[in-house]
Amino acid sequence: MEDNEIIALYFERSQSAIRETSSKYASYCGTIAMNILHDRSDRDECLNDTWMKAWESIPPQKPEYLSAFLGRITRNISISRWRKRSAQKRKDGETAVCIEELSECIPDGSHSRIAEDLELKDLLDRFLGELGSDARVIFMKRYWYILSVKAIADELSMSEGAVKMSLLRTRKKLRQFLDEEDIEL
């Protein structure tokens, strides 16, 4: 079923909206949840929460990209769950590694102005928009989809070294970009 047809079901408040969404996007959203949580039962609960949140949000929202809309919900729910879980034990897994890697993007902290969330989002959009598409896709696969370097390399038919190198270059560029904007996180 096409996305606009699924969205129409939400607007009609038809229960089949959730069934169609699950049928089309369970794998996509499940992948995101699994990448963050590495646990099947947690993944399944996140998926149920995602469908519920979508049901509550559409309408009034009318997503332009249903996949990204749902994926974002799943990512946020999964990260929130990961945080709660990690509070009780050592933070590990790919999510922790990704967050640690992003430390390299943080400016030195000498700036006095702390960016608001909205401003930071706009800056990130601008930065990603100025990146070459290859570097952007690799960066997003790593830090949005939390894919391992090996998974990215396999999917893009690249060596793991080339993926690491691309990520390193992009992290350095992001740090430089944020630094030039004179903001602090």
Partner 1 sequence: MKENERLFEQLGEVNEEFIVEAAPKARIRRSGIKWAAMAVAGAAAAGVLVWQTGALEKNTKKPDEGKTSHVMEFPDDGSEPEKIVSSGEIDHGGAGSYTLMANDISQIIGNNPTREGSSFTKLPVFNGVINEFGEFDKDGDGKIDEGSEEKYKELRMDELNRAASFFTDKEVWINRDDDFGIEGAAGDVRVSLYGYGNLNIDFGTPIELPDEYKIRTMNNGKTIEESEKSVQYICDKYKDLLRFDSPEASIVENYDIYNNCNTGFYAYDKSDDPLTALINYNFNSADFRTDEKQIVDDPDALENPYDGFEYSGDLAHIGTSSRLDYLEFVGNYPIISYDEAYEKLINDPEAYIWPENLPDGLKKDEIFYAGIKYERTADYKYRLPYYMFYVEVHPEREGIYKLPEGRKEYEPAYILAVKKDYMEFPDTEVAFN
- Where along the sequence are the contacts to partner 1 (CB under 8 A)? 2-3, 24-25, 27-28, 31, 63-69, 71-72, 75-76, 79, 98-100, 102-106, 117, 120-121, 124-125, 128-129, 132-134, 136-137, 139-141, 143-145, 147, 151, 154-159, 161-162, 164-165, 168-169, 185
Is the N-terminal amide bond of 59 cis, ω within 30° of 0? Answer: yes
Half-sphere exposure of 2 (CA within 13 A, CB side): 4
Length reported for the chain: 185
Q: Tokens 């947690």 label which residue?
A: 42
Q: Smallest gap, in angstroms, from Cβ of residue 168 to partner 1?
A: 6
The H or E element spanning position 147 is none
Q: Smallest gap, in angstroms, from Cβ of residue 56 to partner 1?
A: 19
Q: Which is nearer to partner 1, 55 or 123 (CB)?
A: 123
Q: Which long-range contacts (CB under 8 A, 24 or more apart) does 39-45 make?
A: 42/78, 42/81, 42/85, 43/78, 45/81
Q: Which is nearer to partner 1, 11 or 13 (CB)?
A: 11
Q: Smallest gap, in angstroms, from Cβ of residue 126 to partner 1?
A: 10
